[in-house]
Amino acid sequence: MQCGKKQLDLNNPVVMGILNITPDSFSDGGTLYGAGREHLDRCLRMAEQMHTDGAAVLDVGGESTRPGATPVASAEEMARVLPVVEAIHQRLDVVISVDTSNPELMVEAARYGAGLINDVRALQRDGALQAAASTGLPVCLMHMQGEPGTMQQAPHYPDVVANVKDWLLARVDACIKAGIGPHNILLDPGFGFGKTLDHNLSLLKHLNQLASLPHPLLVGLSRKSIAGKLTGRPVDGRLPASLALAQLALDGGARILRVHDVAATVDMLKVWRAVREVK
């Protein structure tokens, strides 16, 4: 997959490291939020460590999409994200993904060196489809029922796997009509986004049905509530469960694992791949 000037080889699964440039992330409590040179240096150190640990992609986000989150103004989101994208692009040989639903940021991030657009709203905001298509970059379309502020208020599906699959295919069709090539589309089932524990478990168990579609599958399960509900652990104690969930996602056909704990996930991926390659 051509991501701007860089190529992303998905013949084997890869790891995407998460860089939340927000004050209210559910997982890191705003560790990378701030301004100025010191803030930018902190973001770069984290990016460099994730890259050293084996991340093939770094996903930079300036708007929290945790349950109950409120939208961020476009100018604020751009002020958070663009300096980090530019600095990483200048320093590291890595694919940079921008986690945004903001059409203006999509276009500007591409100019600053981003190679992938990762949108939890699947390019549904006004102008997003056109903006994404104008960049020529690959896009990741994620399923979400509702909006972050309301998505966990009694989510319901007649058949969660079939419904998510059909919804994603409808968004793929909209992208293709807007001029985004099928080869430039990734899909994300949206674990934890408008879904109960049972919905998440069903999606994970039947992930192969989504992986059979002609678009690579990105999965984000790292530190999420599914791990907390199954183990009773707080966010900072969910690494073992996150690794188990990631391995199940690999078994189901995921090609990109979006995670906070890059080194541990890369180690798990090496073991998983070695076993898979034994004749």
111 is catalytic: no
Out of 66, 171, 224, 238, pick the active-site residue: 224
As to burial, measured by CB atoms within 10 angstroms (0-12 exposed, 13-18 middle, 19+ buried), residue 238 is buried
45 is catalytic: no
Rounded distance, CA 170 to CA 215, Å? 13
What pairs with residue 95 in β-bridges?
Answer: 57
Instruction: Name which of 85, 134, 94, 137 is nearest 113 in CA terms.
Output: 85
CA distances from 83 to 73, 90, 153, 231 (A): 17, 11, 35, 38
Out of 171, 238, 255, 258, pick the active-site residue: 258
Q: Which residues contact 106 (CB under 8 A, 6 or more apart)?
A: 98, 100, 117, 128, 131, 132, 135
Active site residues: 224, 258
